[in-house]
Copies of this chain bind each other. A is one copy, B any other.
């Protein structure tokens, strides 16, 4: 379907359309469509713009990624459908590994996502060859199975659009977790080391931009930025942004 660019909510509708195309081509799960809708509602309450709190989190996230020994970016269907190109650029910039990790797992979908990432410039995509998988404790979904060379070995994991279950398990496994989640009340948002409360279509390009900018910083400077970040306080700030937005309407 063609959406008129004159429609007042063109960008949101166009994003939705891109996700539907991803669904039709077997990249996105049907549950991923519903999850997108939930995100849309929370984005609405941010006025569909990146809040200040998210900029602070993005800075801390870039510091964590650049300071990491083995950083990994976890990719699911929605992330691939919406920001494949920029997430590959981010992986090159850090540099970090890319790993496909799905809640609603199928080998066909894993392969399609990996091939989409490769078409967008990725050299290597982990998580598809099941021979190298290890389990993380405390996850009930198929997401428990991760690549031994990827998330299994990572010290910092970026998990855009995650389930709370695995976010908590990764923390318990001693890894620093960066989440991108529009719902500041979610278990993912509360469990992560750094939570970027923002729409992934804005958050990943911004994370790429800040990472490029912070690259010249020393390891100790990066460490200082990451450790001065208070996630609990920052998530509460994002909540307040939403409440403030809603109060403007009430």
Contact = CB atoms under 8 A, between A and B. Distances in A.
A208 interface: no
A55 interface: no
Interface string A183-197: 111010000000000
Q: What's the number of copies of this chain in the assembled complex?
A: 2
A21 to B, nearest CB: 10
Interface secondary structure of A, over-half rule: helix
A63 interface: no
A8 B239 contact: no
Contacts of A33: 30, 33-34, 37
Contacts of A1: 104
Contacts of A242: 246
A4 B164 CA distance: 14
A160 to B, nearest CB: 16
Contacts of A239: 246, 249-250
Nearest to A23: B30
A34 B16 contact: yes
A183 B44 contact: yes
Given A31-B16, A42-B41, A243 B247 contact: yes
Interface in A229-244: 236, 239-240, 242-243
Interface in A120-160: 140-141
A246 to B, nearest CB: 5
Contact of A34 (B4, B40, B184): B40
A42 to B, nearest CB: 6
A242 B242 CA distance: 11
Nearest to A186: B44
Interface string A21-34: 00110000011011
6 contacts: A16-B31, A20-B30, A23-B30, A24-B30, A34-B40, A38-B44
Interface of A: 1, 4, 6-9, 16-17, 19-20, 23-24, 30-31, 33-42, 44-45, 104, 140-141, 164-165, 183-185, 187, 236, 239-240, 242-243, 246-247, 249-250
Given A37-B41, A39-B41, A41-B42, 5 more contacts: A20-B30, A185-B249, A239-B249, A243-B246, A243-B250
